[in-house]
Homo-oligomer: A and B are copies of this chain.
Amino acid sequence: MYKAPIGEIAFALKKVADLEPAMEKGLLGELSPDLLDAVLEEAGRFASEKIAPLAEGGDREGTSVNEGVVTTPTGWKELYADWVAGGWNALTGPEEYGGQALPTSLSAAVFEMWNSASMGFALGPTLTVGAVEALETHGSDELKAAYLAKLVSGEWAGTMNLTEPQAGSDLSALKTKAERADDGSYRIYGQKIYITYGEHDFTDNIVHLVLARLPDAPVGVKGISLFLVPKFLVDADGSLGRRNDVFCHSVEHKLGIHGSPTCTMIYGDGSIDGEEAGAVGYLIGEENRGLVCMFTMMNNARLLVGVQGVGVAEAAFQMALDYARERRQGRSTRLAKGAEPSGQMSPIVEHPDVARSLLTMKALTGCARAIAYACGHATDMARATRDEASEARIWKERANLLTPIAKAFATDIGVEVASLGIQVHGGMGFIEETGAARLLRDARIAPIYEGTNGIQAIDLVTRKIGQSDGAAVSAYLAELAETVDAVRGRNAADFGATGDALAAALDDLKEATAFLARALADKDMDTALAGATSYLRLFGLTAGAVYLAKGALADTGRTERTHLARFMAENLLGETAGLKRQVIAGAASLAAAQAILQ
């Protein structure tokens, strides 16, 4: 069973993502090292003791829908109530609406634990966080007054309604209609698919944020508006009014996250007796500017989806390590040399091949964790420095840069680590009761939703490396280089060839970055896009490996982090040379071979 690695998480926050110096300067509000530890400890206990025990049952039972009413797995409604009562939903919400306004980085750390315990359960609150942010940033005072406090506390839940059958990655194809009503509200008509927690029994009300198009809207993404559509209308006194014309039509039968209802939602088809058809909606932000508001939700949601990858990877590592320490098969060389009585079998963790798998799992999880926390911290720093425009911009661009990497690299890692976890279990890994298979099934959605990892890579290449004419990415690479220099300067035997390996990877990343910048300057989009996915992985591996080494430098008392950073550098960074080659020399053969696919 999952045990929250709170020491590891606290270290990554303080020493790797640099919360420690920020707290010292008072940039993170009331957050102190002690408070941070206390929050992590409480969250870790809740995740391990309350959520994790309900994960397997929730997966087995799944969700069902009957005449628009969705039933969640046994115990999950009570679990959610318990979780809300603990104040966990309010962790990052604005203080004026009852939130604790704690940093995004800490939220990412806590969400990692919820996701390790049960990704299907943690997914619901992830959406509410996004709704709070969008409403806080772009909503009118009336909307905030009516909805925000209850979304912050978790008494009500939020959703994101983007996808339609013909509009997935490409939102320009949205068809859901919004019509202006006389009272200043709107009526929404249309169908949305893949709506996570679109309907459930956790809360009395559900607040849908819905992208739709006004009759006179420009074509494409510039004609999309964002609306708040509550399941139950809210009366002037704040009490629940009549049922709105939005219903769950069906829930999907999915590979994983079975406890999380993935709904097809029907807006405005006239399902309410005695009422005219049309779901009542309220505009968030300006008409036709919905995409801007949605991106507010999405940036944070993307980070938290990246955190799902970290969470599942951590859970998979723990499960595999526990098994490998218990399971005995064969004789390791240590046994063969007579260290244990003859006839006995070794725990499989002693076999080099199994150890390689486990260390790969641990190293990649650590890389992804560090990137995600650093991304969250950049968001927090942008907020903390908002009075100094130039510094805030630097941090904002840092967050922008790291978001697609945190999302895509970490979720790819989630799948990879969960699959390795199955392999470590041997035949047991394929048996559902073991739990390792569930982690792979759950992990597999994360590279897809909140913008596929391909979309993330395109975002990184086409929007992020060009920020401030390349200054943002250059500054980040220079920071990584400082750590690499420090490793080399340390000259410690335990680091082995870590410094050289990191330097080589960083050179690969720099070279690939420069190549893509030139391709973009030349408007050679085919070349830039062909290497996008490889570039993102190259970026993630290099940054992650540097972060592991940074942790090792900061943890002078123990050698474990140095060993792991060295394993990462000497064993797993060899991939970067090939990735660089794909970026700078792969486009021509890709373009030529595309004819095969026609």
Contacts and interface: CB of A to CB of B under 8 A. Distances in A.
A333 B592 contact: no
B564 A426 contact: no
B359 A590 contact: yes
A588 interface: yes
Interface stretch (A266-274, A373-381, A527-535): A527-535
A252 B433 CA distance: 9
A521 interface: no
B437 A255 contact: yes
A356 B426 contact: no
Contacts of A454: 351, 353-354, 357, 423
Nearest to A355: B594
A440 interface: yes
Given A252-B431, A448-B423, A585-B570, A343 B219 contact: yes
A338 interface: no
B575 A430 contact: no
A29 interface: no
A447 interface: yes
A254 interface: yes
A494 B596 contact: no
B586 A570 contact: yes
Interface residues of A, number: 101
A170 interface: yes
Copies assembled = 2
B593 A563 contact: yes
A596 B426 contact: no
Contact of A575 (B441, B532, B578, B592): B578
A524 to B, nearest CB: 9
A163 interface: yes
Contacts of A354: 454
A223 interface: no
B597 A345 contact: no
A566 B571 CA distance: 27
Nearest to A577: B577
Contacts of A219: 343
Given A359-B593, A427-B448, A595-B563, A581 B586 contact: no
A345 B354 CA distance: 47
A156 interface: no
Contacts of A329: 167-170, 173
10 contacts: A255-B422, A255-B430, A321-B597, A356-B530, A356-B533, A426-B452, A430-B444, A430-B448, A494-B592, A563-B589
Given A494-B592, A566-B593, A567-B593, 8 more contacts: A167-B329, A325-B597, A352-B529, A362-B596, A430-B444, A569-B589, A571-B582, A574-B582
Interface of A: 163, 167-170, 173, 193-194, 219, 252-256, 321, 324-325, 329-330, 333, 336, 343, 345, 349-359, 362, 415, 419, 422-423, 426-427, 429-433, 437, 440-441, 444-445, 447-449, 452-454, 457-458, 494, 496-497, 525-526, 529-530, 532-533, 559-560, 563-564, 566-567, 569-571, 573-582, 585-598
